[in-house]
């Protein structure tokens, strides 16, 4: 339910800047505007105003812009006060807005009101945060695609197809004497196959957008002194990790983010895996285990001169086995080998030199390939997607697959209708047409205040 409160917040980042903006949203801002700037400005015109306190003393001078409902970001009356971007003056002005009848906005509350007032659907609302959080230009372009409704349009097309099929089946259930004939059954199967194809295409694009937005978290693991820290330095092209010949130098995790073809890659250097009585080193190894469990992909480094991996206990091997996994045989510079790629027991194996950089570019490309990245120019056809979107798409496809099986085997219209309903609900949860309130709270609480 949309709150009737007037809300206010600083909409510009913390710190000093040339301009700072206070955003105010709610019903009937006339009295509040009079208390701060003396009048309610003419709609959509920039008005030079003096911002005043309760004693009519000037706090600042700047621009006031009024956007009347429903033609505003939130769908409510919105007043923006654009002043000088110093923290002290912004806080003074915000305090005056609160004294004049507003309350401090919660994180994401402006965008939540826009969603609740049907100014945007849930995917578009989430894309606002994704644009702000985008770490690459490609991710930003994909987020804009979602904000413009391209992701939502794809979902709506599938939902409309499901509604058409549900109408056919429900009508047949209402009139049981009218059985589905062979032609209708063939049409039903063809329609379900078309929907399946659409879902696969949407999932592929959404998966690419998810990689661009969230990135790939990679754990560098292996025995002490195999070159994990050297490889991290080579990937980030900087001396971010201490490198020595003493085994166990790395005691804590070190994370850096690089970009490969526009995809953020979060590389985490970890403590070497081995049996040790050193308490500090054992703590580092425990953190290595935690990082491996949380990572999307694991790069296991092995010294080509000492191919072992005896230090990997059963628990570690289990973690490695259940995740995308690259084996990098390092230090080929010592054996005068050339960089190359090979397959071994369904694993991708690379031969590299972290010290000289030979084979590191091959490793970068292998990372993208292992993550199923498909290059798209400037984000064409790709939109940002979150893990909940991918989960919903997988769930919808599962129900469609079940529906197809029902048409191939013993056709039960009641079960078929239920599977289509569940598929539609899964897809509608993406755009917010069918979404629990607790999910909305979780989504918008991750927004910054003022947005």
pLDDT at 426 over 50: yes
* Mean pLDDT confidence for 370-379: 68
Q: In this model, does residue 308 exceed pLDDT 70? A: no
Q: Which residues of 234-264 are buried (b: 16+ CB within 10 A; e: fewer)?
A: bbbeeeebebeeeebbbbebbebebebebbb
Domain spanning 7-120: CATH 3.30.1360.120? yes
Q: Is the per-residue pLDDT at 381 higher than 70? A: no
Most confidently modeled range among 133-142, 173-182, 400-409? 400-409
pLDDT for the residue 1: 47
Kindly state the tokens that stand for 167: 């109408």
Instruction: Reply yes or no on whether the pLDDT at 410 is more than 70.
Output: no
299: tokens are: 């790069």
CA–CA separation, 253 vs 228, rounded Å? 11
Stretch 424-434: mean pLDDT:
88
Mean pLDDT of 150-164: 92
The two beta strands, 47-52 and 58-67, are antiparallel
What is the model's pLDDT at position 291? 80
pLDDT recorded at residue 83: 94
pLDDT at 240: 60
Tokens found for residue 216: 């790939």
Enumerate the domain spans of the chain.
Answer: 7-120
pLDDT in tens, 162-196: 998 888 887 777 665 555 666 677 788 899 999 99
Q: Once rounded to an integer, what is the mean pLDDT over residues 391-419?
A: 89
Taking residues 80-105, report their average pLDDT.
94
Task: Give the model confidence (pLDDT) of 217-242 as tens digits.
Answer: 998 888 888 888 888 888 888 676 55
Q: What proportion of the chain, given as a percentage, has pLDDT over 70?
A: 83
- Out of 39-53, 273-287, 405-419, give the one with best mean pLDDT: 39-53
Flag whether pLDDT at 390 surpasses 90.
yes
**Is 80 exceeded by the pLDDT of residue 52?**
yes
Average pLDDT over residues 433-450: 70
Confidence check: pLDDT of 378 > 50: no
Which stretch of 286-300, 314-328, 352-366, 382-396 has the lowest confidence by average pLDDT?
A: 314-328
| pLDDT (mean) for 119-138 | 88
Contacts 24+ apart (CB under 8 A), 394-400: 394/203, 395/422, 395/423, 395/426, 396/158, 396/199, 396/423, 396/424, 396/426, 396/427, 397/196, 397/199, 397/200, 397/203, 397/423, 399/423, 399/426, 400/192, 400/195, 400/196, 400/199
**Confidence check: pLDDT of 97 > 90:** yes
Q: What average pLDDT does this structure show over 238-251?
A: 55
Residue 434 has pLDDT above 70, yes or no: no
pLDDT of residue 197: 94
Which has more confidence, 378 or 319? 319
Average pLDDT, the chain: 84
> What average pLDDT does the segment 301-321 reach?
65
Query: What integer is the mean pLDDT of 333-348?
Result: 82
| More confident call, 290 vs 417 | 417
Provide, rounded to the nearest whole percent, the portion of the chain with pLDDT above 90. Answer: 39
3-state secondary structure 48-116: EEEEECCCCCEEEEEEEEEECCCCCCCCCEEEEEEEEECHHHHHHHHHHHHHCCCEECCCCHHHHHHHH
Six token digits for residue 351: 């031969």
Q: What is the pLDDT of residue 252?
A: 63
pLDDT at residue number 188: 85
Q: Between 269 and 346, where is the model more confident?
A: 269
């Amino acid at each position: 339910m949309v709150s009737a409160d007037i809300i206010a917040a600083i909409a510009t980042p913390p710190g000093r800047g040339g301009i700072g903006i206070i955003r105010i949203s709610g019903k009937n801002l006339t009295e509040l505007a009079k208390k701060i700037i003396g009048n309610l400005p003419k709609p959509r015109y920039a008005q030079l105003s003096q911002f005043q306190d309760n004693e009519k003393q000037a706090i600042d001078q700047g621009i006031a812009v009024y956007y009347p409902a429903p033609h505003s970001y939130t769908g409510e009356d919105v007043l923006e006060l654009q002043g000088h971007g110093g923290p002290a003056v912004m806080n003074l002005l915000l305090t005056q807005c609160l004294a004049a009848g507003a309350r401090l906005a919660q994180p994401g509350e402006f965008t939540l009101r826009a969603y609740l007032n049907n100014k945007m659907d849930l995917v578009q609302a989430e894309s606002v945060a994704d644009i702000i959080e985008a770490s690459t230009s490609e991710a930003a372009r994909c987020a804009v695609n979602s904000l413009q409704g391209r992701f939502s349009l794809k979902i709506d097309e599938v939902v409309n197809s499901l509604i058409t099929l549900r109408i056919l089946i429900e009508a047949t259930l209402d009139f049981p004497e009218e059985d589905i004939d062979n032609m209708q059954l063939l049409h039903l199967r063809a329609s379900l196959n078309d929907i399946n194809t659409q879902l696969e295409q949407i999932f592929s694009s959404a998966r690419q957008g998810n990689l661009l937005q969230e990135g790939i978290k990679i754990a560098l693991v292996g025995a002490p002194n195999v070159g994990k820290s050297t490889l991290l330095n080579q990937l980030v092209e900087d001396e971010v990790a201490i490198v020595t010949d003493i085994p166990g130098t790395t005691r804590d995790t070190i994370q850096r983010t690089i970009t490969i073809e526009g995809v953020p890659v979060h590389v985490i250097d970890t403590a070497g895996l081995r049996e040790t009585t050193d308490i500090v080193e054992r703590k580092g190894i425990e953190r290595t285990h935690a990082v491996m469990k949380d990572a999307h992909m694991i790069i296991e480094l092995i010294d080509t001169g000492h191919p072992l991996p005896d230090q990997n206990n059963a628990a570690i091997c289990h973690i490695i086995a259940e995740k995308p996994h690259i084996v990098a045989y390092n230090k080929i510079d010592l054996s005068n080998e050339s960089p190359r790629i090979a397959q071994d027991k369904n694993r991708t194996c690379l031969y590299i030199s972290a010290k000289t950089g030979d084979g590191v570019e091959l490793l970068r490309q292998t990372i993208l390939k292992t993550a199923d990245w498909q290059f798209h120019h400037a984000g064409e056809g790709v939109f940002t997607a979150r893990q909940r979107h991918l989960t919903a798409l997988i769930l919808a496809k599962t129900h469609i697959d079940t529906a197809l099986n029902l048409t191939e085997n013993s056709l039960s219209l009641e079960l078929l209708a239920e599977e289509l309903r569940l598929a539609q609900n899964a897809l509608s949860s993406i755009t917010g047409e069918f979404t629990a309130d607790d999910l909305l709270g979780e989504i918008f609480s991750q927004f910054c205040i003022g947005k």
